[in-house]
Amino acid sequence: MDERQIRHILLLSGGKDSTALAIYMRDHHPEIEMEYVFCDTHKELNETYEYLSRIEAYLGKSITRLSSGLGERGFDHHLRLRRGYLPSPAQRWCTQKLKIEPFEDYIKDDQVCLYVGIRADEHREGYISTKPNITAVYPFKDDGITKSDVLRILDDAGIGLPSYYAWRTRSGCYFCFFQRRIEWVGLMENHPTLFAEAKRYEKPEEGFTWTQSESLNDLGRPERIEQIKREEAVRKMQAAKRRRPKTLAQAFTGDFDDDDEHACLICQL
């Protein structure tokens, strides 16, 4: 195959690692004609769109937005087809329908080199697509780039972290079921309307809730919020004892263990 026929694509999630990879590839491999792609579920946070604009400004190149979030391709449509059965870590139909399929439609049968931002200090494998015409490459793994390097790359570029990192450490839909309870509290405090929207999707009487064994209604009770915050403070203290921050950015964000080896790579990198 002629090298020139291969498309080079970097999927941005709106998170720190894929963003840092975009910067890294542009700076270290300017000869690669990279396409930047974002699969928009239309259930993202506004902060994500704002971050994408910042990335575009830095790269001087536009990001192709694959829209999967409206009409027959949208989350609400697929949820209706599943009679309200919410996605979960065991049933990730949202990733398949809202992220992977639009991406596969976009590349068709073209030969694609897909750049994935898994770092050298992670142990995630991660499913992106099984199409044989896609070859995934892992520049951060190959080049020994770790989390502190990623933070430095973002800092040096003047892009920094997405602003939602103040209360949540993952990109993706506002109602993502991978959120920890403290992040649901963050959603409630920072985006009460979106929290209310997420609540409307639940049917606790039928067992359809975003988090296991607890509805958002229960999670949002003042005494429960206090308890979640207390537990989070203890968790952070224990984590800090185990691992001293290596950089100022880590110390500032308290961002020690945001990685979730089970989360979807296409949504959360």
Residues lying near ligand SF4 in the complex (CB under 6 A):
41, 87, 92, 94-95, 98-99, 172-173, 176, 178, 264, 267
Least Å from the CB of residue 99 to ligand SF4:
6
Nearer to ligand SF4, 171 or 185 (CB): 171
d(CA 74, CA 120): 35
Q: State the nearest-atom distance from the C-beta of 173 to ligand SF4, in Å.
A: 3
* Residue 74 vs 172, nearer CB to ligand SF4: 172
Q: How many helices (H) and strands (E) in the chain?
A: 12, 5
Q: How far is the CB of 92 from ligand SF4 (least distance, A)?
A: 6
**Host H or E run for residue 7:** strand 7-11
Residue 194 and residue 115 in contact, taking contact as beta carbons nearer than 8 Å: no
Q: Residue holding tokens 């829209």?
A: 67
Do residues 11 and 114 touch, judged by C-beta distance below 8 A?
yes
Select the residue whose beta carbon is closest to ligand SF4 and give its number.
172
Name the residue nearer to ligand SF4 (CB basis): 41 or 209: 41
Measured distance between the N- and C-terminal CA atoms of the chain, rounded to whole angstroms: 30
At which residue do the structure tokens 């993706």 appear?
172
Shortest distance (Å) from residue 179 CB to ligand SF4: 8
Collapsing DSSP states into helix, strand and coil, what is residue 173? Answer: strand
Name the residue nearer to ligand SF4 (CB basis): 24 or 175.
Answer: 175
Q: Which is nearer to ligand SF4, 149 or 183 (CB)?
A: 183
Q: How far is the CB of 12 from ligand SF4 (least distance, A)?
A: 13
